[in-house]
Amino acid sequence: MFGLSFLSPLYLLGALAIALPIALHLFNRRTETVVDFPAVRLLERSPVEQQRRRRLREILLLALRVSALVLLAGSFARPYLSGRVLAADTPLTLVALDTSFSMGHPDTIAEARALATQAIREAPSTHAVAVATFDLDARVVVPPSTDRSAAVAAVAVTQAGALGTRFGSVVARAAETFGGRGGQLVVVSDLQEAGWTEQARAGLPEDIELRVASTGAVSRNVAVVQAERRGSPGEPARIEATVQNFGLEQRDVTVILEIDGREANRVVVTAPPNAAVPVSFAAAIPASGAARVSAVDEGGVPGDDQRFVLLDAGDAARATVIVAEPGERGGGLYVDRALGVADRGQGFSVTVADGRAFSAWTPEQVQREQVLVVLATRTLDRQGRALIRQFMNAGGAVWLSLGPDIDMATLGETIDGASGVVPDPVNAGALPATLVLGDVRHPIFRPFARPAEALGDVSFRRYRRVDETGRTVLARFSGGAPALVEVPRPTGRLLIFASDLDNQWNRFPLSPAFVPFVVETARYLTEGTREPRAWTLPSVPPGVPAAPGVATLDEGTPGARRVAVNVDPAESSLRRVTADDFTRSVPRTPPAAKADPVDEARRAESEQRLWQLGLVAMFVALAGEGLIGRRAG
């Protein structure tokens, strides 16, 4: 049984005030005076029961008054259960259980629970025990205590979630939980390699022993890593997905498409070892609703077997394409048509304006746009150049193409940050340059994982050289010169494409890769300017649970909208680290200072808040005293 202690025991002296109601009770006791009266038989007998009832009422009133005073004094003394506060030097065994979705296989999580339970039962008898669970964040679910049954019970109900792994979180939480105590940290995990993509910011004190209890590895896993609705205006819509086999053996995988909860189609694909395969569904796709693409993955991790897609189009982003002359050569035709097919023609609202027409716009008109695609500046006057600068300074996004219609003399004053461009274009000669992608994981290049849509097949005859100092080069020409450059800015975004997008210096606009390149670049530039409809965990809108599925925001209001939430496929990999590698990866720090027992007591009192219960009980006693007192009167 936990002992009761007090942070401010001097307040208990206030309990001496109970002497006042006791004294009043004793002094006010009524004694019956005996009077001789000859005609006693003429008097009615006084029932003894009424006298006893009155005496019991008075005793009850006294007890309630005394209790109220004692509870008041006890509440001010700030009580806490001292048995829950361990000594500052009590060793601790902290069992940290991985609950990321890679632990979701039934055999894996069952084995993890068994290993965690074993670690609790094998903890030295002199140790307190605590239990933490972790995925991207770590949480202490059972604080340090001598109650091992509570720790075992907490482990028994632990389930895997839908988030990834971050081992750094459990290292930081462990260092905080030990608080200067010695002991051991037992990490129970499948040791997902992706968990070390972010190193621990905090280290584990050197006096803490680190033990790793690794679950058995899952040898096969298939995941739906991508799914989206596609289709141009006038063409049948379709759902396209990507299924990846993370195992080392070829598998035939059944992939199912459901629309609003009903199965619409299913196909069987052959997934080679450690490879991704595209899946296309030819079922009739409605203009609205929600779809789920799922894979039948026997023996794999269930958390990544499905992906959700919204079928209705979102709000269109506003884009303006600035050209030299209306109808001249390309005149922005190719960019206009590429953006026009995004999201079934509803992704972007595109306006094509020549430099003179754009210069006549008001600042309010320009600020309504979300991205400016600048293909030409030679017909912009001073007002037009000022409008672009104001747009960028207000946080707007600009995509600059360095084609033949760019006036190099005024480029610096038109687009702040576009300096360092060599005016004279480079002629590629007999061997045209091709594009070489930098980080293929960049959002712009996601559609180009398949060879049929590879950007490397596009030839460029002419381009301009761009200074890359202090800038991010997203793609280069085959000779090494920067092709697509992102310029860091305090506000807004600026991308520079070193060649032409109007079919003058290259045949890029005629390539099948042009449309997805333009669409994904515009989407990247307009990120954050409109509410996203597809979310990847752990990111979710406010009020939406961190779980995959389709949720409705502001339901029941005119502004209600739906969002799709999916897991991060990075956790689907079967690559693991060894226990030795894990132990070596944990940074170590000098032993932490011992925790102050007074601070521990204050923390326990603050967490338990028993004084609040005391005050509530006091008010109940006073209310009862008042009720009984009125009836007595």
Place of tokens 């009903």: 262
pLDDT at 452: 42
Residue 98 has pLDDT above 70, yes or no: yes
Assess contact for 486 and 495: CB atoms under 8 A: yes
Classified as helix, coil or strand, 213 is strand
Q: Is the pLDDT of residue 513 over 60?
A: yes
SS3 371: strand
Q: Give the span between the Cα atoms of 527 and 395, in whole angstroms.
A: 12
Class of CATH domain 92-217+576-595: alpha beta
For CATH 3.40.50.410, list the domain ranges present in the chain.
92-217+576-595
What whole-number distance in Å separates Cα of residue 437 and Cα of residue 302? 33
Alpha-carbon distance of 309 to 226, in angstroms, equals 10
Tokens at residue 292, please?
A: 């789920």
Query: Can you tell me the mean pLDDT for 104-119?
Result: 96
Give start-end residues of each CATH 2.60.40.10 domain in the chain.
Answer: 222-313+532-571
pLDDT band at 456 (very low <50, low <70, confident <90, very high): confident
Residues of the chain by 3-state class (helix, strand, coil), percent to 5: 35, 25, 40
Instruction: Give the pLDDT confidence score for residue 531 in this predicted structure.
Output: 72
Tell how strand 128-134 and strand 433-437 pair up: unpaired
Task: Report the pLDDT value the prediction gives residue 70, as an integer from 0 to 100.
Answer: 87
pLDDT digits (tens, 9 = 90+) for 462-494: 999 999 999 999 999 988 899 999 999 888 899
Superfamily of domain 317-525: Class I glutamine amidotransferase (GATase) domain (3.40.50.880)
Residue 14 in this model has a pLDDT that exceeds 80:
no
Helix (H, G, I), strand (E, B) or coil at 53: helix
Q: CA 465, 466, 469: angle at the middle one, nearest 5?
A: 140
DSSP 586-630: S-EEPPPPPPPHHHHHHHHHHHH-HHHHHHHHHHHHHHHHHHHHH
| 418 vs 127: which has the higher pLDDT | 127
Tokens 């409809």 belong to which residue? Answer: 533
Q: Render pLDDT for 270-289 as a digit per residue (tens, 0 to 9).
A: 999 999 999 999 788 888 89
Question: Has residue 122 got a pLDDT over 90?
Answer: yes
Q: Which is more confidently placed, 149 or 56?
A: 149
Average pLDDT over residues 583-590: 89
Let me know the angle formed at the C-alpha of 521 by 516 and 524, rounded to the nearest 5 degrees: 125
pLDDT at 90: 82
Confidence grade of residue 243 (pLDDT, cut at 50, 70, 90)? very high
In this prediction, residue 64 carries a pLDDT of 83
Share of the chain above pLDDT 90, in %: 48
Indicate whether 233 pLDDT > 60: no
Q: List C-alpha distances in Å: 410 to 48, 249, 350, 492, 499.
A: 112, 59, 26, 20, 18
- What's the whole-number average pLDDT of the chain? 85
CATH 3.40.50.880 domain range(s) in the chain: 317-525
Read off the pLDDT band of 45 (50, 70, 90).
low
Q: In the predicted model, what is the mean pLDDT of residues 212-234?
A: 84
pLDDT recorded at residue 518: 93
For residue 523, report the phi and psi dihedrals to the nearest 5 degrees.
-65, -40
Residues in a beta bridge with 506: 460
What is the per-residue pLDDT across 54-92, written as a single tens digit (0 to 9) for each? 777 778 888 888 888 888 888 888 887 765 555 556 899
For 549-579, the pLDDT digits (tens) are 999 987 777 667 889 999 998 899 988 999 9
pTM: 0.58
Q: Would you state the pLDDT for residue 396? A: 92
Digit-coded pLDDT (tens) for 177-204: 998 788 999 999 999 988 886 555 668 9
Tell me if 311 sits within 8 A of 534, measured CB to CB.
no
> According to the model, what pLDDT value does residue 4 have?
78
Q: What is the dihedral of CA 560, 564, 565, 569, to 10 degrees?
A: -160
pLDDT bracket for residue 1 (50, 70, 90): very low
Taking domain 222-313+532-571, whether its CATH number is 2.60.260.20 is answered by no
